[in-house]
Amino acid sequence: MAIGCSFLITFTASATIIQPPEQQSTCKQHPSSASFISSTRPFAISKDIRNDTDLHLVLRLRGGHCQVPCGIFDDPMIVAEVKQCVATIKKAMAQITELEKGKKGPNAQDLNQIVRWINTKEEHASKIITTVSEYCLCQRVKKEVFASESDYTDVLKAHHAVMQAAMKCKQTVDEAAAHGLEHAVGDFEKMYKPQE
């Protein structure tokens, strides 16, 4: 997604870096990258410098929900969806366990419900794995935004832990696995909270 703001910038021919004055900015977005456009083409400092040139600052917002890339991201929504999947997995595990403990053993109706809860648990665990791999890792975790190799590696490990915990939830109805997933999601979500 690209948005823009216009600035009238006065500079000299010796200027090598052009940044819009903060007081002139009406943009409230926090871009991950920005570029200037002059006369609908990218601004080239070497040949386009003139005093009182009207420039348009184009802000490229991080992300997008698809891989086009469209640039439309809603990280808080993605985290909320992952958390909702975790809650569903926890409920499915509890329901499976409860139904299996029938007084005389599970009847046909209980077995039907158990299968449906198992399918729901599988579906939501798969959704978490897909979201983390295709949205988070493919589009949001970019090596160049981290201060060090160690920070980048820590973030990769946190995302991998979520995917592994979701896989383990597919393999069991032990609620400890769901608590492990919940903890892993708590660690991973820190990356998607706004910087303070």
Q: What CATH number is associated with residue 122? A: 1.20.120
Q: What is the reported pLDDT for 103?
A: 66
**Per residue in 131-158, pLDDT tens?**
999 999 988 898 998 999 999 999 999 9
| 124 or 62: which leads in pLDDT | 124
In a domain, 94, yes or no: yes
Q: Are residues 132 and 39 in the same domain?
A: no
Could you tell me which residues are beta bridge partners of residue 58? 4, 35
The whole domain housing 132 covers 75-192
Residue 94 and residue 48 share a domain: no
Could you give the dihedral angle defined by the CA atoms of residues 106, 107, 109 and 115, in that order, rounded to the nearest 10 degrees? 40
- Characterize 65-79 residue by residue with b for buried, 16 or more Cβ atoms within 10 angstroms of its Cβ, and e for exposed: beeeeebebebeebb
Does this model's pTM top 0.85? My answer is no
User: What pLDDT, on the 0 to 100 scale, is given for residue 196?
Assistant: 60
* Residue 38 shares a structural domain with residue 114: no
Residue 58 DSSP SS3: strand
Residue 79, both tokens = 């985290």
Q: Are residues 7 and 51 in the same domain?
A: yes
For residue 73, name the pLDDT band (cuts at 50, 70, 90): confident
**96 and 41 housed in the same domain:** no
Residue 89 lies in a domain: yes
Do 173 and 89 share a domain, yes or no? Answer: yes
d(CA 182, CA 83): 8
- Rounded to the nearest 10 degrees, how much is the dihedral formed by the CA atoms of 186, 171, 95, 165? 0
At residue 16 the predicted structure's pLDDT band, cuts being 50, 70 and 90, is very low
Question: Is the pLDDT score of 122 beyond 80?
Answer: yes
- Same domain, yes or no: 54 and 85: no
The mean pLDDT of the chain is 76
Of residues 123 and 191, more confidence is placed in 123
Domain count, the chain: 2
Residue 185: CA count within 13 A, CB half-sphere: 24
Q: Which of 12, 34, 60 is the last residue of a domain?
A: 60
User: Domain check: are 157 and 115 in the same one?
Assistant: yes
pLDDT value of position 100: 87
Residue 69 lies in a domain: no
pLDDT at position 119: 97
C-beta neighbour count of 132 within 10 angstroms = 25
Residue 124 falls inside a structural domain: yes
Is residue 43 pLDDT above 50, yes or no? no
pLDDT value of position 55:
52
The DSSP call for residue 140 is I
The answer as to whether 70 is a domain residue is no
Distance CA 133, CA 114 (A): 29
Asked if the model's pLDDT at residue 83 lies above 70, the reply is yes
- Look at residue 164 in the predicted model and tell me its pLDDT: 98
- Structural domain includes residue 65: no
